Chain A
């Protein structure tokens, strides 16, 4: 045995380690993203959600994490392509008869297709909200809240006023005034389009099946497979990442679509 082995990331297991770690990082992001977005269900004309959106777009540590996140998405997609090309080359002549369902689950064999659906979704999702919020146009809202009573008046418009120059918060005569881009209404308007709602539902279904396999597969790849906790990992993968999270996300477009 030679002592000089190939570098870690040029090996099959090293590349899969990258898939595993980026995938698990993206899973943790989903949890945070969901918890934040649950504020969409608050019936407060987007007060909580819009303030949260502003906080997330300005807070420096979140910015750092967001770049890590974009990098993870790109690396996860690029490495999946590299690995898939190698996998295809490993079987140049295919089988005439296939009986994949006899020995494995459909989603475990089609992670690339499911991942591609998620990637296409991500691009449109970023365009709908992130791009419009940062560089495009959104509706505008001003919240005037009496600090003592909590009574709130709003002034809103479907376009940003020409003199709008960023998020502002100030207190005057016991009234808290917040002027902000109304991402909440942007969400509500976007989800009036049934095609967009359908895209989101398909994407969440793809995400569910991707993660039912992917979450436990990521642990297998880094060597975590132990009687004591493998059942817990599989349950979290199926119930948290395969059921609860995708359904909660899917509820958002449906909520706004039927709310009108």
Chain B
């Protein structure tokens, strides 16, 4: 940047500081009104831990899922597993019935409940077709119990759904409402007045909300826990439970992070400034920007999701840096005996431009997430970058105003100077080493970066929110139990659309689905195991068998179209409404559910393609196959994550490179300055590769966050280096003076940032631990790169440059 222009801007900041000093009360009042006005919106803040929340509402995968939900309801079920020594014991069954009824009557937003108590039991006895609940007639004696047991164990449909293979565990399956009942209150007797046509707008309906989900899970827990005992062991799993627990964990985490961030920052600030004001003022700035950002979030209707839970503490750590730079200069100037007003103006003149630049580069790194296909990552990009800019605004307005209001004096005592002297010696040592041994530094750095690149190629992607929760949590234990005993409680849904009314009457379609059932239930591909499939095939097979005196050879799909049609009609007429779970009322679409254990989404993405292929192979190309359901969404989230990461890294790198070139006013130096910026990211990703830490929704953020932050140190370094080098023409001297003036603030802000990220290691969610550790590491490496690599690069550059000129 042109020297004269820079001086003009710096003078501008000085004048601005004087202006604020003279109007400090007005400025304070203005800021307070602004924040208070925004903060009134805070109660609107929401949370969303749903699987679909990871995707943008207009994502094609979500549109397909909405279509599915509209037709068949919510795919994720609450599974209440009960384990007992003998399931077919009268006492046990009585208790199970009580539990079933209590859940049915008291769990809100319940759409359907199925257990051994009311499981469909269709069978033929002579010329009679019996369609009833398994326990329609309550067994009174041992013989009746044995008959029920035989019937239940012989029913393939129950296996791995309601009954474990070893008959020690039974599951009560609760299907919840798919849609929120918000706004559905009113007098039921008015129902005649709204015409049928007026609710064709059903597409706009809101999915069941996080709060409603929590409400129903809590109700189920409260009831089930009263029944829990040694002979009636209750475990609760399934999507709604996972969603609820993730929300709980997220709340706990957020509170913990905010407290820890406050503590860590306060301590770091106190060590640096040894003044209460040095601690309180930056924290106030941070608090104000946090409040405003969260208000913006509330106004925009953006809910807190799993990745955005880091937002508050992240903003605190990142936002404090600018205040530190201003305060460092201010206190030093004040200490030198200058007046408060002069010190404020001096500090603003000195650091104003740099903090504006660093805030913008940080925001640029973050805004690179804005276009992410993963919704909460995009939210985070937008909100965090707005937060950084809001924090800049408060640093420029609020900090000088507060400094003007609070009475401050220079401190006496030599301890500070002593500390400074010690630190200065270290800094000079580093500076001299880096410039005099620049070749060694460059060679070592190259080797380290190369090792990093090799590691980076080994990085694997992963998205598995369920496994983020530690095994010590009951939801994990229940889930793992269901995975092992019942073939899992998570699902992939396939919808076959024949495109025409009664399309499902065609024998080749149903026969194809029957073959698919056999084929898919055999899938054991590494971590992907299909425990069970559920479809209309099960219903037609059991009806066909029952119509044929229960002979097992008739447990198959009939060959004739009219028989299929008539058997469906019979089933529709038999008192069961189970058909609506598997076909649409036009018999044009069939739902095919794959029940499976939780697995990493990276495999689910492939599974979706694989299923498409298999279904077309069996059913031909006249049908439309849609793979959806919770697991398909997770797979889609994974794909979006990989794409988003690539996109965001490229955007961040390009934008920041351009900014550096413009800021430094030199193409070559701008490009060289990117080496110490990119090195920390390459090394961090390298570490992930070598240590087999997965790239997930959190660790993906590291690159763009780190580059946006690392660049701050580089800016401070390059900015001052250029100034001093211009003056002296001596690289070693310029580096020494740069590190002496800015080095200390760089060190402190880096420590604050490292601590700010290390607090995520106290997370309950295991993957946030990795995120915290690795981002902290990246910041640390960035500081080292600016202390060693950047001076060495400058030394090498100017050596070659001067040689070239000669």
A joins B in a complex? no
- Which residues of chain A have a CB within 8 Å of any CB of chain B? none
